[in-house]
């Protein structure tokens, strides 16, 4: 028998997180919109940390972080539910107590220097693999690391790096053996900003900015290699694929909130003597949006269940990432159409979501890369049609 119900604990956490988001985060939306107009995107300085500590006092801290490091160590399903609730607002808030999963593969000394301070919010990291000539094809990176005694000299450029302009250390992937390529020729390094790399902000369509990182003869000690020499590409793929279900989860939260706005507006907006909710053109847009949300929701939770159960979730995560990103963009477009001219102004947050959600079809693997992976799995027999379960 199939059981699609949530456990009591899952329902309790989801409801508690939603209450926190509704009370503490959503009321900040107007402030964030005003800050953006004034050229100060995001929250006020220190506000993110204050909100994280307030959430921590309620038990919301390090959802996926192991308990030995002070986290809650929830499974992928619970994490997906939390991401859905966080996605209900465009305020750039994230719960504290987490760190890039790559850092958990470090040595004891690396964990003391990088992992634990990052979990505690004392340090900020960035994941640096994308380059000007290597986006979707991460195997084509050119940044090099050449051995010099007990050190390595890194030269190259990374681009579109999230947190790149704020980070005090970078998780950098560089070629250490050009002859071996991705299979044994790429190594992961922890590189402090004080070692000499520079960052340059890149203004983007949505919230905040990304950054380019420049490495010119940056000297890094061998003790800053994460994992095995030459096998950093595996770590990178684990980072990229490990939380891919989070993207459609956040997109679902945004989609549901936007649909709620459209329903409420449709019931109150009068046109030609009737609420526009009575017109079939609006009803179909509302109905189609709800159908698509529900379809994506269960596909996303299936992906999370596979990840939590130890099954290979790569194929379903590609499907969920693809359809989740596309659906969110379709829904925000419909909601803008239903609201009409006001939605195109900065008086309502819809145009902000319109810009924000467009990135989901690019980040963490473009639509085209997801389609390529799905088709390749089908052609090679890694995924089969007509299968129920795993």
How would DSSP label each residue in 362-384? TTTS-HHHHHHHHHHHHHHTSS-
Rounded Cα distance, 20 and 108, in Å: 35
Contacting residues for 82 by C-beta, under 8 A, at least 6 apart: 13, 14, 17, 63, 74, 95
Q: What is the pLDDT of residue 277?
A: 96
Rg of the chain in Å (alpha carbons): 22
177: left (phi over 0), alpha (psi -120 to 50) or beta: beta
Please report, in angstroms and rounded to a whole number, the separation of the first and last CA atoms in the chain: 15
Report the pLDDT value the prediction gives residue 1, as an integer from 0 to 100.
53
How many Å apart are CA 194 and CA 214, to the nearest integer? 13
pLDDT of residue 242: 65
SS3 48: helix
List, for residues 115-169, the tens digit of each pLDDT value. Answer: 999 999 999 999 999 999 887 777 889 999 999 999 999 999 999 999 999 999 9
Low-confidence stretches of the chain (pLDDT < 70) are 1, 242-243, 389-390
- For β-strands 270-271 and 274-275, DSSP reports them as antiparallel
| Interacting residues of 3 by C-beta distance below 8 A, sequence separation 6+ | none
- 336 in Cβ contact with 343 (< 8 Å): yes
384-389, long-range: CB < 8 A, 24+ apart:
none
d(CA 87, CA 94): 10
User: Could you give the 3-state DSSP secondary structure of residue 126?
Assistant: strand
CA distance 354 to 351: 5
Taking the C-alpha atoms of residue 345 and residue 336, their distance in angstroms, rounded to an integer, is: 10
Contact by Cβ (8 Å): 112, 79: no
Task: Tell me the domains of the chain and their CATH numbers.
Answer: 8-98 (1.10.540.10), 124-239 (2.40.110.10), 243-380 (1.20.140.10)
* pLDDT number for residue 239: 76
Q: Residues near 175 by Cβ (< 8 Å), separated by ≥ 6? A: 141, 142, 143, 144, 145, 185, 186, 187
- Total count of residues recorded for the chain: 390
Contact between 238 and 101 under an 8 Å Cβ cutoff? The reply is yes
Looking at residue 215, the DSSP 8-state letter turns out to be E
How many CA atoms are closer than 13 Å to the CA of 268, on its beta-carbon side?
7
The kind and range of the H/E element at 214 are strand 209-221
Scored b (16 or more CB within 10 A) or e, 133-144 reads ebeeebeebebe
């Amino acid at each position: 028998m199939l059981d699609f119900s949530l456990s009591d604990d899952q329902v309790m956490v989801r409801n508690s997180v939603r209450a926190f988001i509704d009370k503490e985060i959503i009321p900040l939306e107007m402030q964030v919109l005003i800050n953006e107009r004034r050229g100060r995107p995001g929250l006020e300085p220190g506000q993110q940390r204050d909100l994280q500590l307030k959430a921590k006092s309620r038990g919301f801290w390090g959802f996926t972080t192991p308990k030995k490091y002070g986290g809650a160590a929830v499974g992928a399903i619970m994490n997906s539910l939390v991401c859905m609730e966080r996605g209900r607002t465009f305020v750039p808030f994230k719960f504290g107590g987490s760190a890039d999963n790559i850092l958990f593969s470090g040595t004891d000394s690396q964990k003391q220097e990088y992992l634990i301070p990052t979990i505690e919010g004392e340090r900020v990291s960035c994941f640096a693999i994308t380059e000007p000539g290597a986006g979707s094809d991460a195997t084509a990176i050119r940044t090099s690391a050449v051995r010099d005694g007990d050190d390595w000299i890194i030269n190259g450029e990374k681009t579109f790096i999230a947190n790149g302009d704020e980070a005090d250390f970078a998780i950098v992937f560089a070629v250490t053996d050009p002859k071996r390529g991705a299979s044994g020729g790429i190594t992961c390094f922890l590189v402090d900003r004080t070692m000499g790399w520079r960052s340059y902000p890149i203004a983007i369509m949505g919230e905040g900015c990304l950054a380019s990182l420049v490495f010119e003869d940056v000297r890094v000690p061998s003790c800053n290699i994460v994992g095995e020499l030459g096998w950093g590409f595996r770590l990178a793929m684990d980072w990229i694929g490990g939380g891919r279900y989070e993207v459609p989860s956040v997109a679902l939260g945004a989609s549901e909130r936007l649909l709620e706005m459209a329903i409420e507006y449709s019931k109150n907006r009068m046109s030609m003597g009737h609420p526009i909710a009575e017109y079939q053109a609006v009803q179909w847009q509302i109905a189609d949006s709800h159908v698509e949300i529900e379809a994506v929701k269960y596909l996303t939770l299936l992906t999370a269940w596979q990840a939590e159960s130890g099954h290979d979730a790569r194929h379903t995560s590609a499907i969920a990432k693809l359809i989740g990103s596309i659906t969110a963009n379709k829904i925000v477009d419909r909601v803008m159409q239903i609201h009409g001219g006001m939605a195109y102004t900065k008086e309502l947050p819809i145009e902000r979501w319109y810009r924000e959600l467009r990135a989901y079809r690019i980040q963490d693997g473009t639509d085209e890369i997801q389609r390529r992976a799905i088709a390749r799995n089908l052609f090679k027999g890694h995924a089969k049609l007509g299968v129920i379960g795993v």
